[in-house]
Every structure is written in structure tokens, then in C-alpha cells.
A and B are shown apart, each in its own frame.
Chain A
Amino acid sequence: MSSGTDGRLPGSFRDPAGFVFQRDGTFYRQVNRSYQATFATLMGSGLYAKLVEQGLLIPHQTAALGLAPEPDAVAVIKPEQLGFVSYPFEWSFSQLKASALATLRIQRVAVGHGLSLKDASAYNMQLHGGRPTLIDTLSFEPYEAGLPWVGYRQFCQHFLAPLALMAYRDVRLGTLLQSHLDGLSMDLAARLLPWRTRLRPGLLMHLHLHSRAQARHADSSRNRDSLKERMSQRRLEALLESLESTVRRLSWNPDETPWASYGDQSSYSDAGQADKERLVADYLAQADAKSVWDLGGNVGIFSRIAAAKDVPVVSIDSDPGAIDLNYRRMAESGERTIYPIVADLTSPSPALGWANREVNSLTERGPAGLVMALALVHHLAIGNNTHFERLARFFGGLGRRLLIEFVPPDDAMVLRLLAMRNHTFPWYTQGEFEAAFGRRFWIERSDGIADSKRRLYLMESM
């Protein structure tokens, strides 16, 4: 992840309470003088301990004040380090929903301790220990009884609107968050949602009427003082309960989509599949990587073999159904180190935000200790017309070591891809594959998969 010359993260500049910086590969957070009292309340009120105990807030240790890049610091904290940072437009429906519910839970607990979330950004939630966790420790402000929740609009934009669109229109609309970094505006969501969502009281109130209220009050400007004594704590709790109920009722099931049996489609016999799993485990043990990116990870069968070594495994696939199933399995079985994300390798997530430096591109979030590309080469080479030379360069940019599978030209899956093409791929041969990759990598090991013509390779960048 890139940072400025003083180690400060380019994307961490909006919050006057503090910012994130990096020293020798470790991330820290500076707490500014203006936030001193609130930080003391967070730590002293029992809120920090309670949220950490429930796995809702990232735990931290106090670090040396001398590390602070700026003189305004009153404290420096070292949060537990994340295995991988992903962004809401890369999340599956279930992960976005779980993050929304965690945000509401945090707000309810915070209000009970005299604090309130001052924002409800989905970017503040990251997977940590297999659960959506608030990573911005400075996201709280003193709760003033009578004031509405300042994070309400952002919650609706970052969570409720995209979830409703994914549930009621199309799950792929989650990628709209890539072009709308501060979430989907209420009017856009209201226009895109089907009319029948007006019959859902929660969506009617928090999206459709919310949109109309924004339009109606567009010319009026209010300051915080004018809002005092307008909303009791009981009413706030009723609002949070309603939001939670609305989010809970949104559902999307991959089983009802064209991806239904995707994970079951196997190109191997039982013996072939077992041999491939054994070989992959062997290669992983030999590589001994500290992190793994499983490209085209599907529902995560091989990601789980990699995660058995308790290292962060980023499971990447362009199929939102497969990634949703992958996330659900991870959440249900309490797996702590898998990060399933939706990304299209033919157009990986770009750098976004202010000066293109607030959100890192997918490739900037590397390198991985080991890149896995199993049953993927034919999709990129034939499906995307990309020569082995370019694939080798791309994979080499993602990590030093590569565990890759070659799918031969007479494989049933390759023949199926070729059937849809009106030109041939004379260069798509095992010899050309080994020659192209051999120009960038040392081939450490190679084995044929039993009962199949496919081959696995373990390679290391030159």
C-alpha cells in the first residue's frame, strides 16, 4: 500500500481527529490534540473494551509518541495489522450486509456509552479475524441527547441503497460503488429500484421518502444547533432498530441465479480432483508463502487449502455468486484469514478518489507471497485474447512466486471456449506456455495431474 514521504497514507486526510501513517511496514494512527477528550472517553467509558470484546472494533496498543509525523499528536496507536484491505465495491452481497449490521450494532453500543459514530462509511469496515470490523478508532464523537444521527445519510448511501439495488434489481449493481465513492445518492437509488420496493415500509421510509426529503429541503441550510432537542435517545434507538430490520430483510441467494451450480462444475474425475488438491497442498508447503492471492478462486476450494497455513488468502473472482458463497462459508465456519473479493482480472480495480490516491488499485495492494492461478490461463489467454507473454508479466507484477495450472488445447473447457471464436490460437501450446513463462520465471517444479492432461507449475520470478 502506497504512502507519502512522511509515511502518511494519502487517503487519510479528511478526519481532523487524526490520520494513519506507516513506519517500516507497520501502520499506526496519530491522535490529534483536538480529539484528546473524546479518545479518553472512548477508552475510559468501557466502549472500546466492549466493542473489541465483541469483535466489532480493531484492537490497538499504545505506541511511542515520538513516531508521530506531526507535532499536533497527543497519542499514537498501533492497531492490529490487517491481512488485506478490500473496498465495498469488491464485496459480496453478504459481506456488505454483514458490514451494515455491524455498523448499526456499533452505533447502538456507542450510544449506550455516551458516544456516537460521526460517520458510517463502509470504507471504515474491513474483514479482520473473519468478521467485519471497524478499523477507524477515531470514528466516535460525544453523543448529544436530542441530536439526530449525523451518520444516517452516509449509512443509507454506503449500505442500504446498494444492498437494496443488489437484492431487488441485480447483484452486479454493487459495482456502482466503484464510481460513487461516497455511496449511492438517494435519488439515484430511488430511480433505479423497482416500484414494488415502495411497498416495503423500511425501504419506503429510508430510501424513497429520504430521497424526496432531500429534494424538498435542498435549499434550506441547517446548523447543528437548530437540530438540538429534536430526537430523543428512544427515538434514535427506534430509528436504528428500523434500519437494522430493513437491512436484515434484504436477501440475495446465489442459488437462484445462473451461478447456482458453478462450484459443482468440475473438470476432473474424483481421483484427478484429489490429486490436484494434494499437489497444491505440496506446492504451498514448498513455497511457504506469507500471503496468497488465489486468482479465479471461485467458491474457494483451493483458497481453503492455502488458508490452512493460517496466512492471509485473498480469494479473487469476477463472479459475485461464487464470492458470495465463498464469504458465507467463511463466515459460517469461522475462518479467519480468507478475504473473498469480486474483481475482474481483465480489468482489475483501479486507483480512485482524490488524486487517484485514496483507494489503491488491486495491483498496488500486493505483492502477494504467492500467486495461485488454477484453471485460469485458458480463460485469460483465449477468452481475453491475451498472449502468455503478457500473462507472465501480469502475474510477475502481483507476486514473486507463482503456482499456475496449464490447461492443454485439447481440454474440454478449452474446446468449449474455442467453439465460440472465429479464429485459432496456434500459440496456445504447452511449449509456448513454458517458453513465455520461462523468460520471466524459474520453473521450480512441475507435475501432471492424475487422470487429466492438465499440469501444475511452481515458479519464482527471476
Chain B
Amino acid sequence: MAGGRPVFLPGLCSALLMTVLLAGRRYIDPGSGSFAIQIIIAAVLGGLLTARLWLRHIFWRALGLVRRRKTEERPAGDEADR
């Protein structure tokens, strides 16, 4: 995960995972549990990644709209006066 990403998101997801994994039973075969948790973690992290990309996309689109509006509002010949 990128260093700049807020810590609370994975923390929240980890807490959600905790609700899935309640009290354990006897320790016999660690393989199945490792696959199960890996699939869950990857799903959560994959979802986060998608959400992050989607939020970034929305952010840049919104920023693009604001910039376009500002350019349109600027009077003609504004650049030439500088």
C-alpha cells in the first residue's frame, strides 16, 4: 500500500475481518485457514484499491471541471494583458 494512504481504511477493514473470524477451533491443518484468510484479505485490499482508483478518478474529474469553468469565466484578452 502506498505510504500516504490513510491508516484508518485498512484498520476498519481489519476490524470487519475480525467479525468474520470468531473464536477458533483446534489447530490441525493450517493450510485451509491460510487460503481462506488470504482470499478474504485480497478481496478487501482489492476492493480498497478499486475504491482508491475510483475516488482518484472522481477527484481529477471534479478538478478538471473546476479548471475548465475558471478558464471559461476568464475574460478574453486576459492572457495578453500579462
- A residues at B contact (CB < 8 Å): 148-149, 152-153, 156, 185-187, 199, 201-202, 204-206, 209-210, 212-222, 227, 230-232, 234-236, 238-239, 241-242, 245
User: Is B34 a contact of A152 with CB atoms below 8 Å?
Assistant: yes
Q: A185 to B33, alpha carbons, bound, how many Å?
A: 12
In this complex, what residue of B is CB-closest to A226?
Answer: B35
Partner of B25, one of A149, A218, A227, A241: A218
> Does the CB pair A148–B39 fall under 8 Å?
yes
Q: Is the CB of A242 within 8 A of B32?
A: no
- A227 interface neighbour in B3, B23, B35, Cβ under 8 Å: B35
Instruction: List B contacts of A156 (CB < 8 A).
Output: 34
B26 sits at the interface (CB 8 A):
yes
With a 10 A CB-CB cut-off, give which of B18, B23, B24, B40 has the most chain A CB atoms. B24
Chain B hits for A199, CB < 8 A? 11
Q: Compute how far the CA of A153 lies from the CA of B34 in the bound complex, rounded to whole angstroms.
A: 6
Instruction: Please report whether the interface of chain A is mostly helix, strand, loop or mixed according to DSSP.
Output: helix
Q: In whole Å, how far is A213's beta carbon from the nearest beta carbon of chain B?
A: 4
Rounded to whole angstroms, the CA-CA distance of A185 and B28 in the bound complex is 12
Chain A nearest Cβ from B7, distance in angstroms: 7
B30 in contact (CB, < 8 A): yes
Which residues in window 10-39 of B have CB below 8 A to A? 10-11, 13-14, 17-18, 21-39
Q: Would you give the shortest CB distance from A307 to chain B, in whole angstroms?
A: 35
Complex partner residue of A209 from B21, B23, B31, B45, CB under 8 angstroms: B21
Say if the beta carbon of B65 comes within 8 Å of chain A. no
Minimal beta-carbon separation of A200 from chain B (angstroms): 9
Expressed in whole angstroms, the Cα–Cα distance for A215 and B25 within the complex equals 5
Interface contacts (Cβ under 8 Å), in number, total 124
**Which of these, A204, A214, A245, contacts B1 with CB under 8 Å?**
A245
Cβ contacts under 8 Å, A239 to chain B: 38, 41-42, 45
Q: Which residues of A contact B30 (CB under 8 A)?
A: 153, 185-186, 214, 218
Given contacts A204-B14, A234-B49, A238-B49, contact A215 B34 (CB under 8 A): no
CB pair B36–A218 under 8 Å, yes or no, is no
Complex: A7 Cα to B48 Cα, angstroms: 51
Give the residue name and chain of the B residue nearest to A185 (CB).
Answer: B30
A205, B27: Cβ atoms under 8 Å?
Answer: no
B33 touches A214 (CB 8 A): yes
How far is it, in angstroms, between the C-alpha of A230 and the C-alpha of B48 when the chains are bound? 17
Count of chain B residues with Cβ under 8 Å from any Cβ of A? 37
Q: Please tell me if the beta carbons of B33 and A215 are within 8 angstroms of each other in the complex.
A: yes
Q: How many whole Å from B22's CB to the nearest CB in chain A?
A: 7
Looking across the interface, which residue of chain B has its beta carbon closest to that of A215? Answer: B24
Given contacts A204-B11, A213-B40, A221-B32, 11 further A-B contacts (CB under 8 A): A186-B30, A199-B11, A204-B14, A210-B37, A215-B27, A216-B21, A216-B23, A235-B43, A239-B41, A239-B45, A242-B10
Question: With A201-B14, A214-B33, A216-B21 as given contacts, are A231 and B28 in contact (CB-CB < 8 Å)?
Answer: no
Task: Decide if B64 is an interface residue (CB 8 Å cutoff).
Answer: no
Alpha-carbon distance between A202 and B11 when the two chains are bound, in angstroms: 9
How close is B42's CB to chain A, nearest CB, in angstroms? 4
Neighbour of A205 across the interface among B7, B14, B35, CB < 8 A: B14
Q: Which residues of A contact B17 (CB under 8 A)?
A: 205, 209
Asked if A231 and B45 sit within 8 Å, CB to CB, the answer is: no
Residues A212 and B24 in contact, CB atoms below 8 Å apart:
yes
Contacts of B37 in A (CB 8 A): 205, 209-210, 213-214
Q: Check B14 against A216 for contact (C-beta < 8 Å).
A: no
Count chain B CB atoms within 10 A of each CB in A153, A216, A217 and give the residue with the most. A217
B29 contacts across to A, CB distance below 8 A: 217-221
Give Cα distance in the complex from A214 to B36, angstroms.
8
**8 Å CB contact of B26 from A148, A149, A152, A218:** A218
Q: Considering the complex of A and B, which 3 residue pairs feature the smallest CB-CB distances, nearest first?
A: A215-B24, A214-B33, A235-B46
Which of A204, A213, A235 has the most chain B CB atoms inside 10 A of its CB? A213
State the CA gap A49–B43 with chains docked (Å). 32
A-B contact pairs, 25 of them (CB 8 A): A148-B35, A148-B38, A153-B34, A186-B34, A201-B7, A205-B37, A209-B17, A209-B41, A213-B33, A214-B24, A214-B27, A214-B30, A214-B34, A217-B32, A218-B26, A219-B29, A231-B43, A235-B45, A235-B46, A239-B45, A241-B1, A241-B45, A242-B1, A242-B45, A245-B1
